[in-house]
Amino acid sequence: MEEKIFENRVDLSALNQSVQQIRSEIAKVIVGQEQMVNLLITAILADGHVLIEGVPGVAKTLTAKLLSKVISVNFSRIQFTPDLMPSDVLGTSIFNMKKSEFEFKAGPIFSNIVLIDEINRAPAKTQAALFEVMEERQVTIDGTTYPFEHPYMVVATQNPIEHEGTYRLPEAQLDRFLFKISVVYPALEQEIEIIAGHHQRKGHQAVGEVTAVLSAEQIRNYRLAVQQVHVEANLIRYIAQIIHETRNNPALFLGASPRASVAILNSAKAFAAVSGRDFVTPEDVKYVALPVLRHRIVLTPDKEMEGVTADEVVQQIIDKVEVPR
């Protein structure tokens, strides 16, 4: 009897090769932070935006820059400040004296990968300007709609410690981020490697060491491949049960929306593809559930007073829901 050799129904060889190239390029500069890199690659394939949260100096902005370097697409950076206006981000209509008509001058939000540094420093008016941008990948100004080029991804950073001069992000805006990635301090050995690497570069810019390995057309093709990843019906039910539990948990004032269900599905498919599989497992769902849900739920005031975190509640929900066999 011949032994059956398992083969993927979806050809993921080119995708997996590109993923390894991205990891190796980013690893030239970033030490450790495997989960952050994995989630950023997953977000690219799942066509989602990412919010990176961490204290100053843990390479949040640097990682976003490196991501733009490994993909040969346009990149722009916007530093959010308390005096930033929507027109500074989106663009504005300017009167052309020669043509005697108004012309639209596009703002920095018109790019492929947009880094918004310290997103929680801008007021609500400017935050609201991002709603249409992030959900529909377009901007409507003076009755005219301007669609963005493919691919389009917002990578935002914020500092969870400093509160002076910051504004809480609207829940509707948070819900538009596929992932919220929490960046922690490196371990001792990793810190030693970071210091040694900085010393060896002798002042050379780390970003200059990274080369592009992915094109816009490849991203389009890989996203189509990710959509073909197989998901069993019991796993779809598993995702729905996790989301349903967030809406009935006594520790939560606000549960996750149906957008969160779709986000878990899409990111689990992308993570399965990154892992070299054309089918989703319960472990894929568990891996992406925490970064998908941690920013979409709101704790009750008494739980906040007790010092309970969103991560703890989400993990309890994941542990509670029975894993399909």
Q: How far is residue 281 from each of residues 58, 100, 242, measured CA to CA in Å?
A: 31, 60, 15
What residues have CB less than 8 Å from 142, skipping those under 6 apart?
93, 102, 104
Q: What is the pLDDT of residue 165?
A: 64
Would you state the structure tokens that stand for residue 291, as one six-digit string?
Answer: 């970064």
Cα 146 to Cα 25, 43, 121, 218, distances in angstroms: 34, 24, 26, 24
Is the separation of the CB atoms in 257 and 175 below 8 Å?
A: yes
Could you give the CA distance from residue 43 to residue 179 in angstroms, rounded to a whole number?
A: 8
pLDDT tens per residue, range 105-162: 888 899 888 999 888 888 888 888 888 888 888 888 878 888 888 889 999 988 877 6
pLDDT at 4: 43
Distance CA 60, CA 237 (A): 35
pLDDT at 2: 44
- Those residues with Cβ within 8 angstroms of residue 180's Cβ, 6 or more apart along the chain or in another chain: 50, 51, 52, 53, 174, 291, 294, 295
The verdict on pTM exceeding 0.85 is: yes
How does DSSP assign 190-253, residue by residue? HHHHHHHHHHHHTT--GGGG----B-HHHHHHHHHHHHT-B--HHHHHHHHHHHHHHHS-TTEE
**Domain extent listing, the chain:** 7-228, 230-325
Task: Among 1.10.3720.10, 3.40.50.720, 1.10.10.10, 1.10.8.80, name the CATH number for the domain at 230-325.
Answer: 1.10.8.80
What mean pLDDT comes out for the span 289-301?
91
Does residue 179 have a pLDDT over 80? yes
Q: What is the mean pLDDT of the chain?
A: 85
Q: Beta 49-53 vs 177-182: how paired, if at all?
A: parallel
**What's 7-228's CATH class?**
alpha beta
Does residue 84 register a pLDDT over 70?
yes
